[in-house]
Amino acid sequence: MRLRHHAVAALGALALVVTLPTSASAATGQFRYTYETGEGYEAVGFLNNPRSGQCINLPGAGSDELPPAYAPKNVTDATATVFLSADCDGDVYYTLRPGGGASERLKLRSVVFS
């Protein structure tokens, strides 16, 4: 009888563990970049607490029809790898350490955090 109660309790605990939602992994902080609007104005874009391990095309600069963004600032707690191409594609990329930044010469369209 006692064994049955222990088995039921163990199965109940296992069911709770399996059904608990897992939190999405995210970099904590903000990633900032500068881009040119369609009207030709300079604007600052940012990503708050971006997801880790997922490529993000930058709003305002994430397609080939738009000028690339520039001067990124990685104010997150994760390493950011920025790409000149959309979809984190191509051989032109640069890695920014947490708290790091780059000059206006660095062009980018997408980023992934690790």
Domains parsed from the chain with CATH numbers: 29-113 (2.60.20)
What token pair was written down for 49?
A: 């607490």
Instruction: For the full predicted model, state whether its pTM sits above 0.85.
Output: no
Model confidence over 10-58: pLDDT tens digits?
444 444 333 334 445 899 999 999 999 989 999 999 999 999 999 999 9
The burial of 7, by beta-carbon neighbours within 10 Å (0-12 exposed, 13-18 middle, 19 or more buried), is given as: exposed
Nearest C-alpha neighbor of 72 from the set 38, 39, 35, 41: 35
| Angle ∠(27,28,30) on CA atoms, nearest 5 | 95
Model confidence over 84-101: pLDDT tens digits?
999 999 999 999 999 999
